């Protein structure tokens, strides 16, 4: 079996770098784990699954395969693992780990045999055999209509003889067919335990920057400083309700909250604003309000650090009042970077208290 890092039993084993044991029904009921059809079907027949990593014989850090074993209901090993105490089946686990080493050696031998077989096969094919195979492919292309005449100076693609109106009609039909959707299932609703973890994470993650904003800045008459933004609500949703999302990882959040506000500040410096005389300003304010998110999203996508709340943070600066604009480049440090860092730190503490959550997926 194979899987992406962090997805499914195989992906969790790949992420941890060691054996992974999971009860299948718990994976199906857990809304924080990506739902897969094979686990829904397997949970009806099997109690749990164990994934073992198969390492390359020449490179002990390279994983060449993942061995996933399913334990049926009523099996001796499954009954022992109901308490999740792996020490009761330690001998069996060691046996399976040794089996994985033998499997890696067997895969290496099969690879060598296959390479030698391909080499001998290439040596046996003479020029006439290769010519017959190529001519057979040409005949297939001719029969399918990809090539009409041998003397033609261009290849004719099926459909190229259609009229312009017919092509437009076909394109329109294909385009609106996409609107029907791919019939994918929506994400399942969270259970009460997951909802409680989300509640605790959100209330702590918002309460700390809110209290700092109120007691340090508002009561001490430092009203030119802010720490709370509307984008923090979107950030809290991703961090505490969807921590497995790639957009909720620390790298995406912190880099995004540096790049997006920087773009907003740079565009604001060349934006024509009523009542302000800016040297070199030439962009109308209504154009800048669309240009800031467009540039922020595109540049973050190119940089590989796309984060939706960071774009909301940039728009908060663009639409902010004069007290926010007066912060200038310091807006990147506070509230953008300081506020997001506090919420990421709280997410590290709260999310990992849940046995079903693993945060972050990457740094």
Pairwise pLDDT comparison (127 vs 246), residue with the higher score? 246
Residue 338 has pLDDT above 60, yes or no: yes
Instruction: Name the average pLDDT for the chain.
Output: 79
pLDDT bucket at 192, cuts 50 / 70 / 90: very high
Which residues make beta-bridge pairs with 23?
48
Residue 212 has pLDDT above 70, yes or no: yes
Alpha carbon distance 155, 143 (integer Å): 14
CB count in 10 Å sphere of residue 164:
7
Residue 309 has pLDDT above 70, yes or no: yes
- For 109-113, 267-271, 287-291, which range has the lowest pLDDT when averaged over its residues? 109-113
The edge-to-edge listing of strands for the beta sheet with 63-72 is 20-23, 46-55, 63-72
pLDDT bucket at 339, cuts 50 / 70 / 90: very high
Q: Which tens digit of pLDDT belongs to each residue from 65-108?
A: 887 888 777 655 555 555 555 565 666 777 777 777 777 777 77
* Strand positions, DSSP E, 120-264: none
Which residues make beta-bridge pairs with 66?
53
Please state the length of the chain.
363
Pairwise pLDDT comparison (150 vs 18), residue with the higher score? 18
The alpha carbon torsion through 133, 138, 143, 145 (nearest 10 deg) reads 150
Which pTM does this prediction carry? 0.54
| Cα separation of the two ends of the chain | 26
pLDDT at 10: 77
pLDDT at 74: 64
Which residues make beta-bridge pairs with 52?
67
* Encoded tokens for 118: 């391909």
Q: What is the 3-state secondary structure (H, E, C) of 82-149?
A: HHCCHHHHHHHHHHHHHHHHHHHHHHHHHHHHHHHHHHHHHHHCCHHHHHHHHHHHHHHHHHHCCCCC
């Amino acid at each position: 079996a194979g899987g992406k890092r962090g997805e499914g039993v195989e992906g969790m084993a790949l992420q941890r770098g060691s054996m992974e044991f999971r009860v299948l029904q718990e994976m199906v009921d857990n809304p924080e784990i990506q739902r897969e059809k094979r686990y829904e079907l397997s949970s009806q027949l099997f109690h749990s699954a164990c994934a073992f990593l198969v390492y390359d014989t020449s490179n002990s850090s390279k994983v060449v395969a993942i061995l996933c074993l399913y334990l049926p209901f009523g099996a001796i090993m499954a009954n022992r693992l109901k308490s999740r105490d792996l020490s009761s089946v330690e001998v069996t686990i060691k046996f399976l780990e040794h089996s994985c080493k033998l499997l890696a050696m067997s895969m290496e031998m099969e690879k060598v045999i296959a390479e030698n077989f391909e080499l001998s096969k290439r040596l046996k094919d003479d020029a006439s055999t290769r010519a017959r195979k190529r001519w057979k492919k040409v005949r297939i292309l001719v029969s399918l209509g990809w090539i009409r005449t041998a003397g033609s100076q261009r290849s004719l693609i099926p459909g190229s003889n259609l009229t312009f109106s017919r092509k437009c009609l076909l394109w329109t039909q294909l385009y609106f067919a996409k609107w029907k959707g791919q019939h994918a299932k929506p994400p399942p609703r969270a259970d009460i335990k997951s909802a409680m973890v989300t509640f605790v994470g959100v209330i702590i993650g918002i309460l700390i920057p809110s209290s700092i904003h109120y007691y340090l800045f508002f009561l001490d008459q430092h009203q030119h400083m802010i720490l709370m933004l509307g984008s923090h609500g979107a950030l809290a949703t991703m961090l505490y309700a969807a921590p497995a999302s790639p957009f909720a990882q620390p790298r995406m959040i912190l880099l995004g909250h540096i790049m997006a506000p920087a773009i907003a500040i740079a565009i604001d410096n060349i934006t024509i604003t009523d009542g302000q005389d800016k040297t070199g300003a030439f962009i109308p304010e209504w154009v800048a309000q669309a240009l800031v998110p467009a540039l922020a999203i595109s540049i973050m996508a190119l940089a590989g650090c796309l984060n939706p709340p960071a774009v909301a943070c940039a728009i908060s600066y663009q639409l902010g009042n004069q007290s926010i604009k007066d912060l200038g480049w310091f807006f990147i440090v506070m509230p953008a970077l300081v506020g997001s860092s506090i919420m990421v730190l709280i997410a590290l503490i709260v999310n990992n208290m849940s046995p079903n959550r693993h945060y972050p997926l990457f740094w």
